[in-house]
Structure 1
């Protein structure tokens, strides 16, 4: 290995050097990295709320109410709830996983976690979770 020595100092940075190539790209942006999980959680909370409303107020009425007024094929009637329910179920699982991850990462109180989970079960109230997490994100940016 040929290392060029100029005036007694090698051109390669020392092992413990703060040379820019050896500093992770996020080292100076730790606050931005901390906000990323909150932003993802906020988006999942929003989409989980939308999927709950869609499931309760669109898919379930198509399955149970609409057949009383008009003829609807079974595949459409059952498929709407199956598809909307699957999407909603997936988002609920992601929501709970991210809720637990945020609880651990940000040292949230147990009361907050329970309130967020309970709010996610009620269709209209679940939008509050998204708004509350947005307030937390705005506080973190300061």
Structure 2
């Protein structure tokens, strides 16, 4: 894999974690809205929505660059819909991201033939 693929996987992994945290915060805000006077849903809703859109854009980019079969992005999308699924997506992507970085650096260390 090249460095752009490694970068795409890293971005996807990062946004999946942030999206998972925002999902949990949104659920917490929803519960608090119904049980107390605290109402942060109008703020957290759009924040989480933007993060979901970013996740989908980065998922499409990683799918295109890593040449995954259809099953992989579908599983990652389903995980993004589950409240703690982003943490599992991070775990799935961690090894692949590390391998991509090592492969990209290994390829960059080899001098080009003249």
Asked if Structure 1 and Structure 2 have the same fold, meaning a TM-score greater than 0.5 normalized by the shorter chain, the answer is yes
Instruction: Say yes or no: does 1:63 pair with 2:33.
Output: yes
Task: Spell out structure 1 runs of 4+ moving beyond 6 A.
Answer: none
Name the structure 2 match of 1:132: 92
What are structure 1's unaligned runs of at least 5 residues? 1-29, 67-71
What are structure 2's unaligned runs of at least 5 residues? 104-114
Count of paired positions = 102
Higher Cα Rg, which structure: 1
Correspondence for 2:46 among 83, 86, 91: 86
1:1-142 correspondence to structure 2 within 5 Å: 31-56=2-27, 58-66=28-36, 72=37, 76-77=38-39, 80-140=40-100, 141-142=102-103
- Structure with more helix by fraction: 2
Q: Structure 2: how far apart are the matches of 1:94 and 1:125?
A: 16
For normalisation by structure 1, the TM-score amounts to 0.67
Alignment partner of 1:108: what SS? coil
Higher relative contact order (CA 8 A, sep 6+): 2
- How much is the aligned-residue C-alpha RMSD, in angstroms? 1.5
Q: Structure 1: how far apart are the matches of 2:94 and 2:12?
A: 10
Q: Structure 2: how far apart are the matches of 1:33 and 1:94?
A: 17
Name the structure 1 match of 2:106: none
Q: CA deviation at 1:125?
A: 2.4
